[in-house]
Amino acid sequence: MATYQFKLPDIGEGIAEAEIVAWHIKVGDRVEEDQQLADMMTDKATVEMESPVAGVVKSLAGEVGDQIAIGSVLVEIETEGADAPAAEAEEVPLADGAAVPTPAQEEANPTLEVAPEPVRPERSAERAVEGRPTEQQDERRSTSLGTNDDAGAHKTPILTTPAVRARARDLGIDLGQVKHQGEHIRHADLDAYLLYNGGQVSGRSSGAARADEQIKVVGLRRKIAENMQAAKRRIPHFALVEEFDVTALEETRAMMNRDRGQNPKLTLLPFLITALVRTFPDFPMINATYDDEANVVTRHGGVHMGMAAQTPSGLMVPVIRNAERLSIWQLAAEIARLSDAAKTGKATREELSNPTFTISSLGPWGGIASTPVISPPQVATVAVNKVEEKVVPVNGELEIRKRMNLSLSCDHRVVDGWDAATFLQALKPLIENPLRLLA
């Protein structure tokens, strides 16, 4: 017998520690070579740690949410005879900013998901926090695989539907313990399992109150919480909301989409970003960052437009570099590319770093007004609210027009109320007369 110490490798330039966001093993488990041990997170990149040896897990470095220093022992594995390495494996640093796909993303078959181990009920809360595939994502797959793991038997994959798998997860049922007829596990098999074990037939339709659930705030969710707390503590926010008539803009967008050919479909965002970048040169204190420790404001010539995006892991902000150089069509393509990268966990650290200004939009769910939180060191951010049809007077006549509010939040240490108000007014002729944007 020998003990192999798996040390946390260098997972990014300048990174001193990483957070444990998930364990896939526990003390006493038998692990095979290349088996996934843990998910570690630094900044916004989650990296999977795999075992270089086979053996039995002897000890773990900490719990989910703990910070582990680079180079410290993450897992101790007891190996047997020839399985023990002659020397500790050389640690190979991972690519800086590389976004490691989740296990579901690594599957070669787009319609089948291989589950080599039974679903562990105690990990359901952790999966929700760490951004593993959601129930909605599971529903997009036509089928998924579970395991039938009788004591001492060889693990044989069995088929079940995403709905059955999701229900089993919600109820805390290990699919490997469910007896079934035929090759599929069905809802009736779950019902029989629950009745046999004194449970209820349906966890959602029984009418019984659900038990309280405590979820540890870890990983990206914790970083979001820390960043928002720091932003509100450090920055004296003020917000200004202005209404815009987007009737002509929506008509122009619809016309361009009808004739777009191979171009991506246009949303409002490319138009609004174009209006913003054309207005910034006259308001350099808006597209700026503030180092409050050095007491230095940097006015940026280029616009690195942050784009707040909701992902299964939480809020992320991919960045469009030098947005002022891109056409409306190019902006649309970059928005689509970065949004997809963020949602699938493939965005690099470079694509998630150092915006000079941020725009966020909840589309039709955006409400009529909002007070977006500024992410330091930026000094301003804008939120796009929903488009509504309103009856408004136009040249003495009542007309139905499409109206939309923009909510601008500013750091009052750098931006004055007059600056914010005149900035929004300077946007009006561009947004309300889209031909100016296309000129």
User: Which residues are the active-site residues?
Assistant: 412, 416
SS3 395: coil
Alpha helices in 323-384 (DSSP H): 328-343
Cα atoms in the 13 Å half-sphere on the side-chain side of 401? 18
Query: What are the tokens at 364?
Result: 């039709």
Dist CA 321 CA 351 (whole Å): 8
HEC-encoded secondary structure of 156-212: EEEEECHHHHHHHHHHCCCHHHCCCCCCEECHHHHHHHHHHCCCCCCCCCCCCCCCC
Dist CA 106 CA 178 (whole Å): 27
Phi and psi, residue 367, nearest 5°? 70, 180
Dist CA 253 CA 53 (whole Å): 57
The burial of 278, by beta-carbon neighbours within 10 Å (0-12 exposed, 13-18 middle, 19 or more buried), is given as middle
Q: Render the burial of 131-144: b for 16+ CB within 10 Å, e for the rest.
A: bbbeeebbeebeeb
Query: What are the tokens at 425?
Result: 């007014």
Dist CA 172 CA 125 (whole Å): 11
Dist CA 9 CA 95 (whole Å): 11
